[in-house]
Every structure is written in C-alpha cells, then in structure tokens.
Homo-oligomer: A and B are copies of this chain.
Amino acid sequence: MAKDRKIDMVILGLLSHNPLTGYDIKKQIDGGIRFFWKGSFGSIYPALASLEESGLIQKAENVKNESGRERIYYEITDAGREKLRIWLSDSKSVNDLKYEMLLKVFFGGATDNEMSIATIEEFEKEISRDLAVLQVYKNNLSHVLDQRDHLFFYLTVSFGVETYEGYLRWCQDAKKLLVERTD
C-alpha cells in the first residue's frame, strides 16, 4: 500500500460532503481552508486520477452537465469514506510550518535592524488583513454552532484568530526591541 498523500485526504474530506470538480476543490482550498492548508492544481488533478484508479472516488455521471463545457464531477465511494475515517482515527498529525519571515529575522545580523523591522511590518500588514477576514467568519459562525458542520469550521477559524492575535502582539514587541537597539 502506498503511503498516504495529504492531498488525497483533503480531496476525500471535501468529497465526503458532496460531489465536486477539480476546480471546485481548488476554490475550497483557496477559501476557508487556506488559513491552515494549501494545494495546487498540479497536485489535485493527478490525485483525482489516482484516487479514481484505486476506487476511493468515482466520476459522478448522474450530476448533470447542462453545457457542452467539460466539467468532471467526482464523488466519494464507501472505500473512500473508510479511508478517510482511518486517517481521522489516527490522532498523530504532522504540522509543517515554514516562516520565511522568521528566517529573515533570524539572519537579521547580516543587515541593519531597519530591514528586519520592514520585514516584520510587511508580515503585520498581511496578518491584519487576514485576521479581519477570520473575524467576519467567526462572527457569522458563532450564531450557527448548533449545526455540527459549522462547529468544525468554527474551530479552525478560532484557531486562526487566536494565533493571528498572538502574531500581532509579537510584532509590536519585536519592533520595539529592534528600535531600542538600532545601531
């Protein structure tokens, strides 16, 4: 058995709700999921082909295709649901975090502190923008927490809010320290 590809689990998870095309999957990944995961067409389409070949998903012929336009809907199979459950039942996760921003801060000794401050401010701007989006999500979701589906999305959103607020606090402290000690 081939080792689990993460993109396979994303696809199975999304298809566990309803049939989707590769393009739909990409849109969902670029939506609310983008705060904790990402995936490109270059991994999605090959994964769809291989998942179909191993019988974990199948083409949904019944979903009608009103235009002549090519739209390939996939749906999850029972084997696919089982595969998803097995993955979910393993509580061990691998989290892969790469902050180019911190790499630049770490090697800040090779330039002036102003460079590091600019790098931090750029990060701060991006995080502030994203935090505003997350706050809107959180607000809307907090009214519908009794619906189970929304609860899980709420949890990932509140994770984002908690960590992004921490990021912003750190940005303030870090800038202060760097200004105090400017050469």
Contacts and interface: CB of A to CB of B under 8 A. Distances in A.
A149 interface: yes
Given A88-B108, A181-B148, A99 B36 contact: yes
Interface residues on A, range: 35 or more
Nearest to A122: B91
A146 B119 CA distance: 22
Main secondary structure of the interface of A (DSSP, over half): helix
B152 A108 contact: yes
Interface in A4-59: 6, 9-10, 13, 16-17, 33, 36-38
A153 B88 contact: no
Interface in A106-130: 106-111, 115-116, 118-119, 121-123
Contact of A123 (B17, B89, B93, B155): B93
Quickly give the copy total for this chain.
2
B109 A6 contact: no
Contacts of A105: 152, 155-156, 159
Nearest to A181: B151
Given A13-B106, A110-B13, A155-B174, A100 B91 contact: no
A134 interface: no
B155 A162 contact: no
Given A16-B109, A88-B111, 6 more contacts: A38-B98, A89-B115, A91-B122, A106-B152, A151-B181, A159-B170
22 contacts: A6-B98, A13-B107, A36-B98, A36-B99, A36-B102, A85-B110, A88-B111, A91-B115, A93-B101, A93-B119, A95-B98, A105-B159, A106-B153, A108-B152, A155-B174, A155-B177, A158-B170, A158-B173, A158-B174, A159-B167, A159-B170, A162-B169
